[in-house]
Amino acid sequence: MHLFRKDTPALRPPRAWSNAGRAEAAPFGRSEAGGPEVSAFTLDNGLDVVVVPDHRAPVVTHMIWYRNGSADDPLGQSGIAHFLEHLMFKGTEKHPIGAFSKAVSGLGGQENAFTSYDYTAYFQRVARDHLETMMEFEADRMTGLVLEDSVVAPERDVVLEERRMRVETDPSAQLSEAMAASLFVHHPYGIPIIGWMHEIEGLNREHALDYYKRFYTPENAILVVAGDVTPDVVRRLADGTYGRVTPQGTRPTRLRAREPEPKALRRLAVEDPKVEQPTLQRLYLAPSCITARDGDCHALELLAEVLGGGSTSYLYRKLVMEQGIAVNAGAWYMGSAIDDTRFSVYAIPAEGVSLESLEEAVDRTLRRVPAEALDAEATERAKTRLVAETVYSSDSQSSLARIYGSALAIGETIEEVRRWPADIEGVTRDRLAAAAERYLTPARSVTGYLTKARDAA
């Protein structure tokens, strides 16, 4: 089990899931990137189902996505979504602890789960003939989870140790947490997915069961099956397993505070003796693929690629190759989110270069983006790389399942996923320049320094 933090670097997310396919599986055709023919339908109990055919091998990836993540954690219970993900492996009335995992292993399959800000997902990869078995197990733990204090308390200790190992002993993780908390002053994206240590310590059986009963329902879930299957077979198996789960009637409401428009730049630093490599990080508050207007999401995706997508990118070329003041530099954009999200720029100084000097150079370089970085050749090169990633991901069964599941879980549509390559190709230089000028501004930013602590005098 692991926390899934970063955006899927290929097909990007959608906007409003439609129940138009209740009667028949709705085929959406092949994507512009040459992907498979995707079908979708909805069971009578509200469970949305997506089928992504891939007949190259008799294998399937079975994923169940829930429309809840750490940003839906109740106030004072940070980490409960991730904690419940752990507890979902603790058995049901029908299947004792370990039975599900033992079955997957015995069938030669693989399994895992992950929690993000906006969704939680569980998946198995098995031979095609065992798909129904996976559905039976997963449908059972959608409503049949049994939790006793004897298993809850030890698993909470596991999560606490996970936080100690991943955050408390890692200065870069501490900087990332501090920067997120500063960027999102009101929205729960500023709270770590794993939760704050003192709040994890207070999580208990009642918290987990309340959260489970609220979100783990068929109408709040998306089943994605990718592999050597047909829509008719998936429908029949899903009806006989998931279709027996009683719905609650309405999808749970997600209650989230809205992040106010930022007015002031923020700065922070983490110093630690364990730091070997100083780092400059910058976050900007930016719209996501759900909150963006006028195609800003696609412009920001392409802008991140132009600025920081590898050794031919603008930041790398200017700071590393031409000026020699950095050993690495880049940018990324987490567009797959329900609410406003983050655009990041980072750089690692060369030997003898201070972070202050590096930051001045980064700022000078960013100011020149509209005039210098957005020439036709660089833009077309970035488009080619992004679309190529889509094609490569379309060649992976598990990646396809993940792309469609994450997209639908935040409210995008299959059609938007299919259209993504064309939308990227359609981004113009003017849109890129406008996105840079609108969102890469000091008032929207948090700048972080990671430095090695000086020895005490």
Running DSSP on this structure, what letter comes out for residue 432?
A: H
Give catalytic residues, as residue numbers: 85
Q: 172 exposed, middle or buried (CB, 10 Å; 0-12, 13-18, 19+)? A: middle
Distance between CA 46 and CA 289 in Å, rounded? 25
**CB contact burial 190-219 (16+ within 10 A = b; e otherwise):** bbbbbbbbebbeebebebbbebbeebbbbb
Alpha-carbon Rg for the chain, nearest whole angstrom, is 23
Altogether, the residues listed in the chain come to a count of: 457
171 with 270: CB under 8 angstroms? yes
Distance between CA 82 and CA 70 in Å, rounded? 7
Q: Strand pairing partners for 60?
A: 126, 227
Distance between CA 430 and CA 182 in Å, rounded? 31
Q: Are strands 48-53 and 221-227 parallel, antiparallel or unpaired?
A: parallel
**CA proximity to 404, closest of 104, 72, 88, 36:** 36
Cα(first)–Cα(last) distance of the chain, in Å? Answer: 44
Q: Which helix (H) or strand (E) holds 384?
A: helix 376-394
Q: Strand pairing partners for 39?
A: 27, 51
Q: Which residues contact 427 (CB under 8 A, 6 or more apart)?
A: 295, 298, 299, 302, 379, 383
